[in-house]
Structure 1
Amino acid sequence: MQDGNTNTPEVETETATDWLTQLKNVIIEYAPAVIAALVILIVGLFVINMVVKLAKRVMEKRGLDATLQKFLGNLLSWTLKILLFVIVASKLGVETTSFAAVIGAAGLAIGLALQGSLSNFAGGVLIMIFKPFKIGDLIEAQGVTGVVKEIQIFTTQLNTPGNKLAIIPNGSLSNGNIINYSAEGILRVDHVIGVSYDADIKQTKEVLMQVMQANDKVLKDPAPTVNVSELADSSVNFAVRPWSTTANYWDVYFKVLEDAKIALDAAGIEIPYPHSVEIHKGE
């Protein structure tokens, strides 16, 4: 009786030959496109690397911020790589129109999911381009005051006066009010010091002015000023306004206040304060 197995050695050999023939035909048909795609990929990556390096050198010569240089370099690199990927896929026979539609749909979905992040990203770009502040500046923004430690793509980091790290999203930072205390290089220190109504106004102004003039960290130009600012309920208030560099602001602030108290006491000028009065009821 004949065996039910029809896979004789002759049939198996013929099948293997057919497979090899088909594989050979596929290789002959697609090899040029694959080789061309590989060449385009290798040459394209080399060219992209050269273009990015050239762009970075141009940005360095123009004095762009280091963070902005890195960001723009990465953006340029990824944009060119995506374009190269589309070209390579097209060379391999992939329909670029449908491919572009898929990328567009994916980009839309990602954009909707990351609206807040994209807002922060855009804010970071605006900050890097328009430079309302730089690293080392003392700024006030979003209810936080501190020295700018780092400007990143999505956030800006501040060191507060208490040495706390504050991280502010760039989206809200770029759309809000920013006070840059370091931009002009000097700051005015504002004090209000009240003295008794019995004190001589001219003498008080002279004493307070001498305190500021004796402080070597108080600037001569602009000159410090002392003026009566208010006739309050229990005191005559003087606006005491020395100027200092940004770096010396707090030294001047505390030193002038301390020295003013000492000088006013030495001159016999009273600084009024609330008095409590006890009322004794008769039996």
Structure 2
Amino acid sequence: MNLEELGNLFVLYGLNILYALGLILLGWWAAGLVERLVTRGLESTHRVDATVVGFLASIARYAILVFVGVAVLQRFGIQTTSLIAVLGATSLAIGLALQGTLSNVAAGVMLLLFRPFRIGDAVEVGGQAGTVKGLSLFTTELATGDNIQVLMPNGRVWGSPIVNKSVYGERSFAFALELKPDADIERVLAEGLAFLRSDPRVRKEPGPSASIVKMALDRVEVNFSGWASSGDAGGVRADLIARLREITRMRDIPRDVAPVANGHDGNREAPAARAGAPLSPP
């Protein structure tokens, strides 16, 4: 091979490489554009759920990228029919290598079909709790309570129990505390119940309740409960705790009242401390 033929090959393959790079960049831009157009078009109808919108937009984007990849291979003289034959012969190896990725895609399809949650729902799944922000071809996006992004593989989401706190619209909340037997328990019950009844976020039917649930020689346990919307239940409960702290201070009821674990709303509570316990060692 002389220098002239070598130069011709260099020019030919150099142009092909430049063409492939340009095609890849153009395809990447086009894939993003198609994804945005699909998203805007589906959102403008106001009839398609946001979860479906994100999933279909992801499929459109990856379809464009696959088309660009095939075009680049053809530019270098690789026939797609031969490529399909090679892929068919090595399908087992490819399937084993990509089984995690393919399982995420399959799980994404199942999540899209059965719709265990929607965009904006508060969920607990796979050891993570947060608000659903999106569902793509491979991952589910959550935002935690302190607004941190969590990306979970769809396979992990579909294979774990999903606790959806928003699906029914309303849920119960409860708070239990311990007092000394000589405390003014009736006053605590009355004022705590009055606070719940005056809060507009608390449902009137069924109304809130307050009662003594356990008695012992050294302590009395009282419980407050009620119903509120899924978005307000946590806030109502936090305000109730703050109000009970104020009541104990104003009425000189033994302090250091701490919550007792309960199973109404699934929240974790701090370990209970008996009323009147000293704040520091004697």
TM-score bin (small chain): 0.5 to 0.7
* Structure 1 residue 101, shift from structure 2 partner: 4.2
- The aligned counterpart of 2:54 is 67
Q: Residues 123 and 165 of structure 2 are in contact (CA less than 8 Å); yes or no, is this contact kept in structure 1?
A: yes
Task: Determine what percentage of the aligned residue pairs are the same residue.
Answer: 29
Q: Residues 148 and 157 of structure 1 are in contact (CA less than 8 Å); yes or no, is this contact kept in structure 2?
A: yes
Do the aligned partners of residues 62 and 210 (structure 1) sit closer, same or farther apart at CA in structure 2, a change above 3 Å counting?
closer
CA offsets 1:94-123 (integer angstroms, 9 cap, x no match): 997x87543323433322111111111111
Residue correspondence of structure 1 range 101-250 to structure 2 within 5 A: 101-231=85-215, 234-250=218-234
Q: Distance in 1 between matches of 2:276 and 2:161?
A: 37
Q: Distance in 2 between matches of 1:233 and 1:114?
A: 63
Q: Distance in 2 between matches of 1:258 and 1:143?
A: 29
- The aligned counterpart of 1:29 is none
Q: Residues 211 and 260 of structure 1 are in contact (CA less than 8 Å); yes or no, is this contact kept in structure 2?
A: no
Q: Distance in 2 between matches of 1:238 and 1:95?
A: 73
Letter in 1 for 2:106: A
Letter in 2 for 1:67: G
* Structure 1 residue 259, shift from structure 2 partner: 1.0
Which 5+ residue runs of structure 2 have no aligned equivalent? Answer: 1-37, 256-274
- Does 1:258 pair with 2:239? no
- The aligned counterpart of 2:13 is none
Q: Distance in 2 between matches of 1:267 and 1:236?
A: 17
Residue correspondence of structure 1 range 271-282 to structure 2 within 5 A: 271=255, 272-275=275-278, 278=282
Q: Distance in 1 between matches of 2:88 and 2:208?
A: 62
Q: Give the superposed CA RMSD.
A: 3.5
* Structure 1 residue 242, shift from structure 2 partner: 2.9
TM-score (norm 2): 0.63
Q: Residues 189 and 243 of structure 1 are in contact (CA less than 8 Å); yes or no, is this contact kept in structure 2?
A: yes
CA offsets 1:222-242 (integer angstroms, 9 cap, x no match): 321223233367431222223
* Structure 1 residue 73, shift from structure 2 partner: 5.4
Q: Residues 207 and 264 of structure 1 are in contact (CA less than 8 Å); yes or no, is this contact kept in structure 2?
A: no
Do the aligned partners of residues 234 and 105 (structure 1) sit closer, same or farther apart at CA in structure 2, a change above 3 Å counting?
farther
Q: Distance in 1 between matches of 2:46 and 2:241?
A: 47
Q: Residues 192 and 239 of structure 1 are in contact (CA less than 8 Å); yes or no, is this contact kept in structure 2?
A: yes
Do the aligned partners of residues 178 and 234 (structure 1) sit closer, same or farther apart at CA in structure 2, a change above 3 Å counting?
farther
Do the aligned partners of residues 75 and 209 (structure 1) sit closer, same or farther apart at CA in structure 2, a change above 3 Å counting?
same
* Structure 1 residue 254, shift from structure 2 partner: 1.9
Letter in 2 for 1:265: R
Do the aligned partners of residues 110 and 222 (structure 1) sit closer, same or farther apart at CA in structure 2, a change above 3 Å counting?
farther
Do the aligned partners of residues 177 and 233 (structure 1) sit closer, same or farther apart at CA in structure 2, a change above 3 Å counting?
farther
* Structure 1 residue 139, shift from structure 2 partner: 0.5
Which 5+ residue runs of structure 1 have no aligned equivalent? Answer: 1-52, 279-283
TM-score (norm 1): 0.63
SS in 1 for 2:145: coil
Letter in 2 for 1:69: L
Larger Rg: 1
